[in-house]
Amino acid sequence: MDQPDIRIVLVEPSHPGNIGAVARAMKNMGLERLVLVNPRQFPHSEAIARASGADDVLANARVVATVEEAVAGCGLILATTSRTRDQYFRVADVRDAAQRVLHESRRGPAAVLFGSERAGLSNEQLEAAHLLIRIPASESYPSLNLAMAVQIVTYELFLARGVPIDPAPSAGPLADPAEMGRLYEHLAQVLEEIDFRDRTQGGTHLMGRLRRLFQRAALDRNEVNILRGILTAVQSRRRRAGSFPDRP
């Protein structure tokens, strides 16, 4: 099988043994791109011991300081969660999500985020994600060990590699986080210029809601360019209108 361009991203893992077990799970399922965001202990002898032969995955693991660095250049970004979210995230079944991320990885890098053992992923760390993965489990005890969660997701990714995928309509690669960030900055600037403000009591939720809207849409680069072109046209029109004094 060809090596899919999928990053497994562990955000602030606290136990080095789990990092080693994740490396083993990845190698079992034919994946090798491991990224660690601010790990508490790495490198570590326990990670090597738990890797059980997946030393190459550990040796090639990339350590970064932020989620933004971990997903830089990626198109589709998925994140795992065991909690119910109230921020309008779209949730995908793990099997369906695996097929989608595998498909997108053939057009450009993709990533799956896993949170820390104790706290999972914060809403801020989920900002770049297009959708969430929830792994079904018993209601009485739904919490999975980090390495177990990675094993389940990578297993589904492995299975998906043997499933024929219907050709998708012609489309460009998904916009990466940097491109989406520039869109959000541009949008915020235009909203300020036209005095379109958050009317909620706290006055801080508008851009968050708009980010979730566009992340759910999973925009490609051409679509981002179209939206930014519209925003630029709005700015240009306002500047031309503002160059003339009001007539009596």
Q: What are the pLDDT digits (tens) for 51-80?
A: 999 999 999 999 999 999 999 999 999 999
More confident residue, 168 or 43: 43
More confident residue, 171 or 132: 132
Q: Which of 1-10, 63-72, 103-112 has the lowest mean pLDDT?
A: 1-10
pTM of the model: 0.87
User: Mean pLDDT in the chain?
Assistant: 90
pLDDT at 171 over 80: no
Percent of the chain residues topping a pLDDT of 90: 70
More confident residue, 125 or 86: 125
* Confidence (pLDDT) at 182: 97
**Which residues contact residue 3 at a Cβ distance below 8 angstroms, ignoring those fewer than 6 apart?**
30, 31, 32
| Average pLDDT value for residue range 107-135 | 92
Q: Enumerate domains of the chain plus CATH numbers.
A: 6-160 (3.40.1280.10), 177-242 (1.10.8.590)
**Which residues contact residue 43 at a Cβ distance below 8 angstroms, ignoring those fewer than 6 apart?**
58
pLDDT at 168 over 80: no
Query: What residue ranges in the chain does DSSP mark as E strands?
Result: 6-11, 33-37, 62-64, 77-80, 91-93, 110-114, 131-134
Q: What are the beta bridge partners of residue 112?
A: 8, 78
| Average pLDDT value for residue range 240-244 | 65
HSE value, Cβ hemisphere, 13 Å, CA-based, for 215? 25
Whole-angstrom Cα distance, residue 33 to residue 205? 35
| Average pLDDT value for residue range 151-159 | 96
* Confidence (pLDDT) at 210: 94
Which of the four pLDDT bands, split at 50, 70 and 90, describes residue 3? confident
* Confidence (pLDDT) at 156: 97
| Average pLDDT value for residue range 158-184 | 83
Taking the CA atoms of 115, 117, 120 and 125 in sequence, report the sign of the dihedral they define. negative
Percent of the chain residues topping a pLDDT of 70: 89
* Confidence (pLDDT) at 167: 53
Query: What residue ranges in 62-188 does DSSP mark as E strands?
Result: 62-64, 77-80, 91-93, 110-114, 131-134
User: Is there a contact between 30 and 158 (Cβ–Cβ < 8 Å)?
Assistant: yes
pLDDT at 239 over 90: no
pLDDT at 222 over 80: yes
